[in-house]
């Protein structure tokens, strides 16, 4: 089962992707994780990606796609995978489709978690991240046992710049310009399914399981 998660920043796609991966026994793959793993392991693709990242430049679509395709051909992906954060644009989606066709694969589901912008801005303002281990929480939906102290490592929590309202508005603008067209792309391929992301996390999860038949 090959699944792509779509949705605006803060829609909850990462959280749901992890739950689906655990339930179905398939890997949850994010481009950030792929970059870090390849750089840490000193691969040729990792070195290429690092050369762009060190300059503060975006990693080109073709290279991102190469990294993703390399990852999904590893043994743990034999029964499927969930892609989270890729593709983000139509050129990336087209490159992925061509690469999958070349290895005899195709996307089974593109799941779009729909949440209005105002909800997302309010949601993100409540997110907190640990300065030590990077664990994330929410002051309302997923609070720590002790206020502003990480449950995992005991370090303090912060509101990341990425989660501040002005930054979120900017990220949403980019999302609507670049990523929203993917909904049409996957609708045309008859693999898109939309889920109401304003529901409880458990209800969103159960709706997704129903869609994918898990």
12-22 confidence digits (pLDDT tens):
898 899 999 99
Task: Say what the pLDDT of residue 88 is.
Answer: 87
Residue in 18, 48, 164, 171 annotated catalytic: 171
pLDDT above 90: percentage of residues in the chain:
56
Residue 123 lies in a domain: no
Residue 30 has pLDDT above 90, yes or no: no
For residue 2, the SS3 value is strand
Residues contacting residue 67 through CB under 8 Å, at least 6 positions apart: 31, 34, 35, 38, 45, 49
- Look up 71 and say whether it is catalytic: no
Nearest residue to 2 via CA among 75, 98, 109, 129: 109
pLDDT at residue 58 tops 80: no
Residue 148 resides in a domain: no
What phi-psi label fits residue 87: left (phi over 0), alpha (psi between -120 and 50 degrees) or beta?
beta
The sign one gets for the Cα dihedral 59, 65, 71, 74 is negative
Question: Which of the following is catalytic: 88, 128, 164, 169?
Answer: 88
Question: Out of 13, 19, 123, 128, which one is annotated catalytic?
Answer: 13
Evaluate whether 191 touches 110 at the Cβ level (below 8 Å): yes
Domain count, the chain: 1
Tell me if 144 is assigned to some domain.
no
Q: Has residue 53 been placed in a domain? A: yes
CATH number, domain at 6?
Answer: 3.40.50.300
Residue 87 has pLDDT above 80, yes or no: yes
| 29 assigned to some structural domain | yes
Give a yes or no: residue 140 inside a domain.
no
Whether the pLDDT of residue 140 is over 90: the answer is no
The per-residue pLDDT for 14 is 87
Within a domain: 98: yes
128 given a catalytic annotation: no
| Average of per-residue pLDDT values in the chain | 91
Would you tell me how many other CB atoms lie within 10 Å of the CB of residue 86?
22
Among the listed residues 40, 160, 189, 190, the single catalytic one is: 160
Q: Which of 2, 19, 127, 128 is catalytic?
A: 127
**Average pLDDT of span 182-193:** 96
User: Which residue range forms the structural domain that includes residue 53?
Assistant: 2-115+176-212
* pLDDT single digits (tens) 168-182: 898 899 888 888 899
Per the domain annotation, does 25 fall within a domain?
A: yes
């Amino acid at each position: 089962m090959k699944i792509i998660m779509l949705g605006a920043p803060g829609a909850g796609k990462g959280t749901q992707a992890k739950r689906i991966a655990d339930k179905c026994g398939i890997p949850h793959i994010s481009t950030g994780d792929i970059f870090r793993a390849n750089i840490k392991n000193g691969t040729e693709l990792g070195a290429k990606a690092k050369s762009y990242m060190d300059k503060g430049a975006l990693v080109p679509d073709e290279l991102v796609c190469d990294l993703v395709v390399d990852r999904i051909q590893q043994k743990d992906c034999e029964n499927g995978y969930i892609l989270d954060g890729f593709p983000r644009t139509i050129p990336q989606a087209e490159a992925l489709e061509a690469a999958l066709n070349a290895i005899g694969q195709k996307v089974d589901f593109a799941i779009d978690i729909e949440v209005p912008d105002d909800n997302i801005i309010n949601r993100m303002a409540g997110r907190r991240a640990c300065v030590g281990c990077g664990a994330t929480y929410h002051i309302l939906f997923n609070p720590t046992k002790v206020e502003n102290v990480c449950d995992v490592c005991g370090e303090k929590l912060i509101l990341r710049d990425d989660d501040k309202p002005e930054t979120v508005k900017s990220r949403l603008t980019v999302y609507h310009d670049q990523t929203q067209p993917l909904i049409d792309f996957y609708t045309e391929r008859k693999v898109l399914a939309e889920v109401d992301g304003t529901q409880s996390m458990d209800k969103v999860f159960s709706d997704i399981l129903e869609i994918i038949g898990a």
